[in-house]
Amino acid sequence: MKQSAISHPRSARLDVETELEERKRLVEDALHRALPPESAWPETIHRAVRYSLFAGGKRIRPLLVLAAGEAVGGSRDGVMPLACAAEMIHTYSLVHDDLPAMDDDDLRRGKPTSHKVFGEGIAILVGDALLTRAFEIMADAPAGADAGDVRRRLAATAILAEAAGTAGLIGGQVMDLESEGQAVDARALEKMHRAKTGALLGACVRGGAVLGGGGEEDRARLDRYASAIGLAFQVVDDVLDETGAAHELGKTAGKDARAGKATYVSVHGLEASRQMARRLREEARSAVAPLGARGRLLDGLARLIVERRG
């Protein structure tokens, strides 16, 4: 029973996919409720924030939060604020990264980017607003929250802020900006991606475990899992950038390579990158295997990350 995800792979896989789909709908609803209404003053910014936040993302970060929370026995409602906050921070980073002064992207998920639709000034403020709102949601404890709830909330906020800061998301983007057109070795590349992508993915898993009230042992397992999927995510991204169809990515394939940006594929080659992704996926699986059925959603997400096509 505990090993169902391993002993009945096909049906279990469908079950997990159904469960993830159901969680994704809950996340969409929670995100809608986590924002001021579109008609709130000043309307422009709320319309623009929603444009980017509901542009069809896969919601991998909130799903990781929910899966980690459930894996340690936490309540879904209890970890939902972190799920929403993480997705807002992810979206803010995309909006700012797409700006002309950064990666200068016109398309994101097949739609014109925020600054193309609303102008650069508003796009900068959209990112600022999402980042700020993320922390507001974390700080907004319900009136009846007990001392433990409040303490876990603050701890999860610290984890999220650290991952979003200069040692994480922002540091990675600085390194990305500075490495454009430069030769980057394998170590520097891994450092950049661990910061730019891995830190936030990891914070979703670790923060979900903390907010869900997980014990030391479970948290250590989830740490190993987080480290593996964080890197896997970026390796797969680079493989897709090299090989993927533009319409599936919603952006121009091969763009990073042409921009002279270092990728796993440019440093290690395509086949080695694919192998690396498979190895990391196995690492993630073995990290959560001791959790049995409680780890099934985390395992399903690791597969989703590695097998995704866009």
Residues of this chain that bind its own copies (CB under 8 A): 36, 40-42, 44-46, 49, 92, 96, 99, 101-102, 119-125, 127-129, 131-133, 135-136, 138-141, 147, 150-151, 153-155, 157-158, 161-162, 164-167, 170-171, 173-175, 177-178
| Residue 108 DSSP SS3 | strand
How far CA 196 is from CA of 41, 99, 173, 193, in Å, comes to 33, 16, 6, 5
Following DSSP, what letter does each residue of 263-296 receive, concatenated?
-HHHHH-HHHHHHHHHHHHHHHHHHHGGGGGGGH
Q: Among residues 45 and 55, whose Cβ is nearest to its own copies?
A: 45
Q: What minimum distance in Å lies between the beta carbon of 302 and its own copies?
A: 27
Q: Which amino acid is at 59?
A: R
Q: Which residue, 126 or 276, has its beta carbon nearer to its own copies?
A: 126
Let me know: does 24 contact 297? Beta carbons within 8 Å: no
Per the structure block, which two tokens stand in for 133?
A: 């709102």
Is 150 or 245 the residue whose CB approaches its own copies more closely? Answer: 150
Q: How far is the CB of 132 from its own copies (least distance, A)?
A: 5
Q: Of 193, 160, 162, which is closest to residue 179 (Cα–Cα)?
A: 193
Residue 217 CB, nearest distance to its own copies (Å)? 21
Query: Which contacts (CB < 8 Å, 24+ apart) does range 239-247 have?
Result: 239/264, 239/265, 239/270, 239/273, 239/274, 239/277, 240/308, 240/309, 240/310, 241/265, 242/270, 243/270, 244/309, 244/310, 245/310, 247/110
Contact 55, 94 (CB under 8 A): no
Give the long-range contacts of residues 43-46, CB within 8 A, separation 24 or more.
44/118, 44/122, 45/122, 45/125, 45/126, 45/129
Q: Return d(Cα 185, Cα 276) in angstroms, integer.
A: 16
Least separation in angstroms between residue 126's CB and its own copies is 9
Closer Cβ to its own copies, 166 or 275, answer by number: 166
Least distance from C-beta 285 to its own copies, angstroms? 31
- 212, 182, 178: which is closest to 195 by C-alpha? 178
Q: Report the residue number, 120 or 282, with the smaller CB distance to its own copies.
A: 120
Are 172 and 195 spatial neighbours (Cβ–Cβ below 8 Å)?
yes
**Angle 282-59-164 (CA atoms, 0-180°, nearest 5)?**
85
Please identify, using beta-carbon distances, which residue of 122 and 288 lies nearer to its own copies. 122
Least Å from the CB of residue 152 to its own copies: 10
Minimum CB distance to its own copies smaller for 175 or for 253: 175
Smallest distance, its own copies to C-beta of residue 76, A: 21
Nearer to its own copies, 9 or 119 (CB): 119
In the complex, the smallest distance separating the C-beta of residue 85 from its own copies, rounded to whole angstroms, is 10
